[in-house]
Amino acid sequence: MQFDIVTLFPEFFASPLACGLMGKALANGIASVNLVNPRDFTTDKHRRVDDEPYGGGAGMVIKPEPLFAAIESLAILPPRETIFLSPQGEPMTRDLFRFLASERQQLVLVCGNYEGVDERVMSIVDREVSLGDFVLTGGEIPALALVNGVMRLLPGTVGKTESLQAESFEDNLLDYPHYTRPAEFRGMAVPEVLRSGNHEKIAQWRREQQLQRTRERRPDLLDPENSK
């Protein structure tokens, strides 16, 4: 999959994209990331990308010309989707990541900054996506979260596919507790059932833990079917 990130701060992505599973996925050719700076498409000597808003008001607004030029400079690898990272967008969810990972070959991620972007840019955007009901200094953090969430679902990124099938939000349940060695640490012991070797009882315990955690922390996720 091709990720094209349109950002005024391409250096923001250098370290995260070199680390962990994302770094390995990029090194193995599972995905590729292309960083595009709208400043490279300005025509004035100051490389200015923002201007005062019509109608007055606080802050500066990113001009349409450099964003249009940056997006239109990208080769099209269909099926492609252009996404603007915005607190006004639909929330990032597991289902959205799954859709993008399975149904799209190219994602163009447009990072907003300052007070916002000229509304005319929305005419070449397919959807707006939000990291949550809050405002950040720019769209770079949400863009990185989306890249991470989608990339980990691409075949080959995660070594064991079962890791993707038993985690939070699968079946609308939170994940169960995890333990490893030592069996006892500072007076806290690993539950006996996990050391029993009885896979049926272990599976039952994990399911019960998922239900309990979801009831306590995210009861909104439960429906009559998976609350049994």
What confidence tens digit (pLDDT) does each residue in 19-30 have?
999 999 999 999
143 shares a domain with 171 = no
206 neighbors 193 (Cβ within 8 angstroms): no
8 neighbors 111 (Cβ within 8 angstroms): yes
Distances from the Cα of 97 to the Cαs of 37, 39, 186, 217, 220, in angstroms? 25, 29, 39, 23, 20
pLDDT exceeds cutoff 70 at 161:
no
The pTM score is: 0.89
Confidence bin at 164 (pLDDT 50/70/90): low
Closest CA to 139 of 6, 4, 3: 6
189 shares a domain with 98 = no
Distance CA 113, CA 122 (A): 15
77 shares a domain with 36 = yes
pLDDT score of 171: 81
Distance CA 205, CA 96 (A): 30
- Residue range(s) defining the domain that contains residue 176: 166-221
Two structure tokens written together for 77: 């690898």
Tell me how many domains the chain contains: 2
- Return the ∠ at Cα 85 (arms to 82 and 88), rounded to 5°: 115
Closest CA to 156 of 44, 14, 35, 26: 26
pLDDT score of 51: 96
Question: Which CATH number characterizes residue 86's domain?
Answer: 3.40.1280.10
Length of the chain: 228
